[in-house]
């Protein structure tokens, strides 16, 4: 239960600082942008100059803050921009930034008489906030990242990050292990073209070790929905024999019961063949994707039949 002081809001505003033009706020602000785009004010900020006081005051006026608190609103905006820069944020979203009416009572004592005076004042409040941080800044924002609650995240994504693997879990059945984000996207597309559904996006990067490949297999195979694993490696940015050794090591350690289809050539393909393991090779991506989808469907049928 989260209990907060009640505030009496006079006006509400949406305020955000972003690195790009995409609206990343809630549904309300997106619908406003779509239905009434003139209601959205944007201000480009030179990162070298920062948010200047005159620009902040002008923005406060255009948003409709009362004249008596525009200075306070502008000061709040400048502080939020400083937070954005100092903490390596990719987004600072205040929804709402509110103009609140606060009631106070003062007591005055004079000549044995107590006089109570009621007065009202306007305040600028950040009533809700959403902050995103650049993950590449973890080395210098240790205090921020120490607050990270990994229990709220996909455990596979957390495990992948420890080994510098880029992993995103999806809803499909065919696990993917690829080097390069572009090739990973293409691999997922061709799986769908053949009637399958990718279970993940996993980019091992251009300098993966055998250990990283093994960990990648552990992460992929930990997904109970996975019924086949497709490995698609382009040898121009890394040695395929390292990938092959990682595949052999992972397959041996994990005793995988699902088919592994690899697209490798030359010495890497020879290593796979000589391993004696039940790893299926393919010479091109189309063949590899087709085999992955076919074998995945067979495994799914076997599971449904409890075989």
CATH code: domain of residue 122: 3.30.470.20
Give me the catalytic one of 81, 93, 99, 163. 93
Q: Are residues 169 and 140 in the same domain?
A: no
Torsion, Cα 220 222 225 226, to 10 degrees, reads: 40
Q: Is residue 175 helix, strand or coil? A: strand
CA-CA distance, 142 to 175, in Å (whole number)?
33
Question: Is 55 among the domain residues?
Answer: yes
* Angle at CA of residue 274, ends 302 and 201, nearest 5°: 50
Tell me how far apart the terminal alpha carbons of the chain are, to the nearest angstrom. Answer: 47
Question: Is 1 among the domain residues?
Answer: no
Judged against a pLDDT cut of 70, whether residue 223 lies above it is answered with: yes
How does pLDDT run across 180-215, given as a tens digit for each residue? 889 999 999 999 999 999 999 999 887 777 788 889
Judged against a pLDDT cut of 90, whether residue 289 lies above it is answered with: yes
Question: Is 2 among the domain residues?
Answer: no
Judged against a pLDDT cut of 70, whether residue 43 lies above it is answered with: yes
Tell me, yes or no, if 93 is annotated catalytic: yes
Give me the catalytic one of 14, 81, 163, 167. 14
What confidence score (pLDDT) does residue 25 get? 46
Q: Are residues 30 and 61 in the same domain?
A: yes
Which of 84, 118, 145 lies at the terminal end of a domain, its last residue?
A: 145
How does pLDDT run across 127-180, given as a tens digit for each residue? 999 999 998 999 999 999 999 888 888 899 999 988 889 999 999 999 999 988
Number of H helices and number of E strands within the chain? 10, 10
Tell me, yes or no, if 119 is annotated catalytic: no
Q: Are residues 228 and 275 in the same domain?
A: yes
CA-CA distance, 73 to 75, in Å (whole number)?
5
pLDDT-derived band at 216, boundaries 50, 70, 90: very high
Mean pLDDT score, 44-62:
93
CATH number for 211: 3.40.50.261
Domain that holds residue 237: 154-304
Q: Are residues 111 and 158 in the same domain?
A: no
Question: Is 186 among the domain residues?
Answer: yes
Torsion, Cα 230 231 233 239, to 10 degrees, reads: -170
Q: Count structural domains, the chain.
A: 2
Q: Are residues 160 and 297 in the same domain?
A: yes
Residue written as token pair 């039949």: 305
Q: Are residues 138 and 228 in the same domain?
A: no
What confidence score (pLDDT) does residue 104 get? 56
């Amino acid at each position: 239960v989260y209990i907060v002081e009640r505030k009496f809001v006079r006006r509400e505003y949406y305020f955000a600082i972003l690195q790009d033009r995409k609206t990343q706020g809630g549904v309300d602000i997106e619908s406003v942008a779509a239905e009434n785009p003139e209601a959205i004010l944007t201000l480009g900020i030179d990162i070298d100059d920062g948010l200047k006081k005159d620009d902040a005051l002008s923005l406060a006026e255009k948003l409709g803050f009362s004249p008596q608190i525009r200075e306070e609103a502008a000061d709040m905006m400048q502080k939020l921009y400083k937070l954005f820069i100092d903490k390596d944020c990719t987004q600072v979203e205040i929804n709402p930034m509110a103009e609140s009416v606060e009631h106070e009572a003062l007591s005055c004592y004079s000549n044995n008489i107590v006089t109570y005076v009621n007065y009202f004042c306007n305040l600028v409040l950040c009533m809700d906030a959403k902050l995103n941080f650049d993950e590449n800044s973890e080395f210098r924002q240790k205090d921020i990242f120490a607050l990270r609650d990994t229990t709220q995240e996909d455990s596979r994504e957390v495990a992948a990050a420890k080994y510098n693997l880029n992993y995103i879990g999806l809803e499909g059945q065919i696990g993917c292990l690829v080097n390069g984000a572009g090739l990973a996207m293409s691999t997922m597309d061709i799986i769908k073209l053949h009637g399958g559904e990718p279970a993940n996006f996993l980019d091992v990067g251009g300098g993966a070790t055998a250990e990283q490949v093994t960990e990648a297999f552990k992460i992929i195979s930990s997904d109970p929905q996975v019924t086949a694993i497709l490995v698609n490696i382009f040898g121009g940015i890394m040695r395929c024999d390292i990938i092959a050794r990682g595949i052999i090591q992972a397959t041996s350690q994990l005793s995988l019961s699902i088919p592994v289809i690899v697209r490798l050539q030359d010495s890497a393909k020879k290593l796979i063949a000589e391993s004696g393991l039940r790893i299926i090779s393919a010479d091109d991506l189309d063949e590899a994707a087709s085999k992955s989808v076919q074998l995945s469907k067979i495994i799914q049928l076997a599971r449904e039949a409890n075989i």
